[in-house]
Amino acid sequence: MRFDLTDDQRAVRDAIDELCRARWDPATMRRHLRGEDDGSGLWRELASAGWTGAAIAEQYGGQGLGTVELSLVNEGLGRALAPSSFFGNMAAGLLVEMAGSQEQKQQWLPGFAAGESRGAIGMLKPDGTALAFDAEGAAAVVLVGDGRAMIASSADCRSEAIDGVDLTRRLSRLRVSESDELGGDVAAAVDRLEVALSAELVGVANRAMDLAVDHACTRQQFGRPIGAYQAVSHRCADMLIDVESARSAVLGAAWTADHDAETLPFAASVAKVAAAQGAWRVTAASLQVHGGIGFTWEHDCHLLLRRAAASSRLLGSVDFHLDRLSRLRGLGPVGEAVSA
């Protein structure tokens, strides 16, 4: 079987890339870091173009796009290091649509789809609090953890800003006084979110690779571009292998989500492991190719590295997914499989 993007899917990819170039270029992202841009302009553009309803069924005002299309959108936003507003809203919409009651769907999904009442996602912690990403201004937060999910109105959440590894997103600790359980298939929704998050990691890795290759082609040393030296060119070639391998795993998992849902848990775990490990290797290698300038605040290398580290641990970690892959193949936990 030959797998390739359709013309419509390419149009989705190109439209997101064009929007990010126009509304979230590196200069805008730097203003965001300094607190001079809250990302609301990008959100308005996403909403006006209908992207905020991409994951939501048409009956609730969304586009009802497939997981492949959602992955392409997230890859483009990851490449631009955009805030998590889109991912949080998409995650909240997917979880409510797949696991919520009819009343919850009617209450929340139209607002999520229109972008007027934004959703966000938070990870439940053992102490009862939750860590949420770019939740400021959201109408509701969906809290996920231990195979369950619940939705809480922002009026029932007390938020405290905290420092995080990823400087391009706002992290906060939430204390929730009241929430409604989502009683449906939370696991299936989370697997789709893992695929979308993996696509974001592919975008991060792709951007880091492009920066490294551009630097290797333009930086001169001993009268030649540094890319002419094997120590650099081989490292760049390894980046390409990581990026394209992860992209193939993600697109394969996205196709699986839409056409063969029974095998999605395995495909989603493969995608997350490939994308998380690949993004870390590529961003770290890109920093090395850039040399001293790659370590400076002014360069974007450290921002890409930070995003790769943070997103790799969001939802399920690499260790979690390796264990799940081993169990799904009947091998038991990874440690037992290796010792056997």
What pLDDT score does 228 carry? 82
| CATH number of domain containing 257 | 1.20.140.10
Q: Is it the case that residue 340 has pLDDT exceeding 90?
A: no
Which pTM was predicted?
A: 0.92
Cβ(166)–Cβ(79) below 8 Å? no
What pLDDT score does 83 carry? 86
Report the domain count for the chain. 2
What pLDDT score does 200 carry? 96
Q: What is the mean pLDDT of the chain?
A: 90
Whether 234 is covered by a domain: the verdict is yes
State whether 137 and 32 are in the same domain.
yes
Q: Which of 184, 208, 242 is the last residue of a domain?
A: 184
pLDDT in tens, 130-161: 999 888 889 999 999 888 999 999 889 898 98
Q: Is it the case that residue 308 has pLDDT exceeding 90?
A: yes
Match 């609730």 to its residue by tokens. Answer: 60
Whether 76 is covered by a domain: the verdict is yes
- Give me the helix-helix angle, 264-290 and 230-259, nearest 10°: 160
pLDDT band at 1 (very low <50, low <70, confident <90, very high): very low
211/257 Cα distance (integer angstroms): 32
Three-class DSSP labels, the chain: CCCCCCHHHHHHHHHHHHHHHHHCCHHHHHHHHCCCCCCHHHHHHHHHCCHHHCCCCHHHCCCCCCHHHHHHHHHHHHHCCCCCHHHHHHHHHHHHHHHCCHHHHHHHHHHHHHCCCCEEEEEECCCCCEEEECCCCCCEEEEEECCEEEEEEHHHEEEEEECCCCCCCCEEEEEECCCEEECCCHHHHHHHHHHHHHHHHHHHHHHHHHHHHHHHHHCEECCEEHHHCHHHHHHHHHHHHHHHHHHHHHHHHHHHHHHCHHHHHHHHHHHHHHHHHHHHHHHHHHHHHHHHHHHCCCCCHHHHHHHHHHHHHCCCCHHHHHHHHHHHCCCCCHHHHHHC
State whether 106 and 236 are in the same domain.
no
Whether 1 is covered by a domain: the verdict is no
Q: Which of 184, 217, 248 is the last residue of a domain?
A: 184
pLDDT band at 298 (very low <50, low <70, confident <90, very high): confident
209/285 Cα distance (integer angstroms): 8
State whether 179 and 194 are in the same domain.
no
- Section 160-170 average pLDDT: 88
Cβ(324)–Cβ(331) below 8 Å? no
State whether 172 and 191 are in the same domain.
no
pLDDT band at 128 (very low <50, low <70, confident <90, very high): confident
Tell me how far the alpha carbon of residue 209 is from its chain's centroid: 18
Q: Residue 251 is part of which domain span?
A: 187-339
What pLDDT score does 339 carry? 46
| CATH number of domain containing 95 | 1.10.540.10
What pLDDT score does 220 carry? 79
Percent of the chain with pLDDT over 70: 97
Strands 140-145 and 157-162, bridge-based pairing:
unpaired
What pLDDT score does 103 carry? 94
Q: Is it the case that residue 310 has pLDDT exceeding 90?
A: yes
Q: Which of 184, 214, 229 is the last residue of a domain?
A: 184
State whether 165 and 208 are in the same domain.
no
What pLDDT score does 204 carry? 96
State whether 298 and 210 are in the same domain.
yes
State whether 29 and 174 are in the same domain.
yes
pLDDT in tens, 76-120: 999 999 887 899 999 999 999 999 999 999 999 999 999 889 999
State whether 113 and 223 are in the same domain.
no
Whether 2 is covered by a domain: the verdict is no
pLDDT in tens, 194-252: 999 999 999 999 999 999 999 989 887 888 888 888 888 999 999 999 999 999 999 99
What pLDDT score does 40 carry? 85
What pLDDT score does 248 carry? 95
Q: Is it the case that residue 2 has pLDDT exceeding 90?
A: no
Backbone region of residue 146 per phi and psi (left: phi > 0; alpha: psi in -120 to 50; beta: other values): left
State whether 145 and 280 are in the same domain.
no
